[in-house]
């Protein structure tokens, strides 16, 4: 199977590597020509000079997978793709788009006879090694066509990916996933700050987080990453106490309001990130470090402008 990958950043580039190693032919394009050349040389990816060139190198049914920033960049690219495609072709949005946008785009593309899949994609910078968790929305026919690609990207052919529902369901599921993630991160950060604050015990946070990794009910991959980071640095003096949010946490809270569902933990975790923009605290340094550990998000250094 062959597909085009548009957007070869941290996630897109590593997804190309995993696909190529999994036997999927990939035509890749990015505005950074050096990235295209590197992936072509190292992984055997077919290099494209433009989006038009990438589409031209595909055979029917053509599949174009987008790994672009949500909002206008994704919207504009989908609009630009339609004249290049034919009925039966498929567009996949693997970015963190709002599920309402995905539903609207899917309906519009259906009118053009073009299939659409929204893929909530989790795994961050570790996806290349461990595989990606893929939550996809779309028709059964599109999901079946994309099955070999999803199996190559996932940790294994029979796990780590699922067709969760119609168009929009994939990004909706990922949105709630990220809201839960916010709450988990906030809980770890607050608890560890309390441990650190009990000065009379002089607790070793690296030792304790490593301890919790084994048979504790709070063991998790997030704890694994936190424990590994604390082995290197417990003070975090060089990490600015500033934690950004990607947008999905906000969308999750809005959804809770729309449904009339109480979600105080997820809501407060989001608000605490807002607070970090104005106030200092150890828990914010921990949150920033955790985001870097699992997603490669930039860590602002102490003294840098926010």
Active site residue 34: no
**Given this model, what pLDDT does residue 305 score?**
62
**pLDDT for 195-205, tens place per residue?**
999 999 999 99
The domain 2-166 having CATH identifier 1.10.10.60: the answer here is no
Active site residue 111: no
User: What are the counts of helices (DSSP H) followed by strands (DSSP E) for the chain?
Assistant: 13, 8
Instruction: Please identify which of the residues 174, 199, 238, 305 carries the catalytic annotation.
Output: 174
**pLDDT for 168-198, tens place per residue?**
999 999 999 999 999 999 999 999 999 999 9
Helix (H, G, I), strand (E, B) or coil at 116: strand
**Given this model, what pLDDT does residue 295 score?**
84
**Nearest to 250, CA basis, from 187, 176, 170:** 176
**Given this model, what pLDDT does residue 141 score?**
97
Write down the domain spans for the chain: 2-166, 175-295
Residues 6+ apart with CB under 8 A from 99: 118, 137, 168, 169, 170, 171, 172, 175, 251
CA distance 78 to 91: 8
User: What does pTM read for this prediction?
Assistant: 0.89
pLDDT along the chain (306 residues), means of 10: 96 98 98 98 98 97 97 97 97 96 98 98 93 98 98 97 98 97 96 96 97 97 96 90 85 96 95 75 81 84 67
Could you say which of 1.10.3720.10, 1.10.1040.10, 3.30.70.260, 1.20.58.220 is the CATH number of the domain covering 175-295? 1.10.1040.10
**Given this model, what pLDDT does residue 79 score?**
98
Instruction: Please identify which of the residues 141, 181, 190, 300 carries the catalytic annotation.
Output: 181
């Amino acid at each position: 199977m062959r597909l085009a990958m548009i957007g070869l950043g941290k996630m897109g580039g590593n997804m190309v590597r995993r696909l190529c190693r999994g036997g999927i032919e990939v035509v890749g394009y990015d505005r950074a020509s050096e990235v295209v050349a590197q992936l072509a040389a190292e992984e055997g990816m077919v290099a494209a000079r433009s989006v038009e060139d990438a589409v031209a190198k595909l055979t029917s049914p053509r599949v174009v997978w987008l790994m672009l920033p949500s909002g206008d960049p994704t919207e504009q690219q989908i609009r630009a793709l339609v004249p290049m495609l034919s009925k039966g072709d498929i567009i996949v949005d693997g970015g963190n788009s709002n599920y309402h946008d995905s539903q609207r785009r899917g309906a519009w593309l259906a009118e053009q006879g073009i299939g659409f899949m929204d893929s909530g994609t989790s795994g961050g910078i570790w996806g290349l090694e461990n595989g990606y968790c893929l939550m996809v929305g779309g028709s059964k026919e599109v999901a079946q066509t994309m099955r070999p690609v999803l199996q190559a990207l996932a940790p294994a052919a029979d796990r780590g990916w699922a067709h969760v529902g119609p168009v929009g369901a994939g990004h909706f599921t990922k949105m709630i996933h990220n809201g839960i993630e916010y709450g988990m991160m906030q809980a770890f950060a607050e608890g560890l700050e309390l441990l650190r604050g009990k000065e009379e015990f002089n607790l070793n946070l690296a030792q304790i987080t490593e301890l919790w990794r084994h048979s504790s009910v709070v063991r998790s991959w997030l704890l694994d990453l936190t424990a590994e980071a604390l082995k290197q640095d417990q003070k975090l003096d060089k990490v600015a106490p500033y934690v950004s949010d990607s947008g999905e946490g906000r969308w999750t809270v809005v959804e809770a309001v729309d449904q009339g569902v109480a979600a105080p933990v997820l809501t407060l975790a989001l608000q605490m990130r807002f607070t970090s923009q104005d106030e200092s605290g150890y828990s914010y340094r921990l949150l920033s470090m955790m985001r870097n550990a699992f997603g490669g998000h930039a860590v602002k250094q102490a003294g840098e402008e926010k």
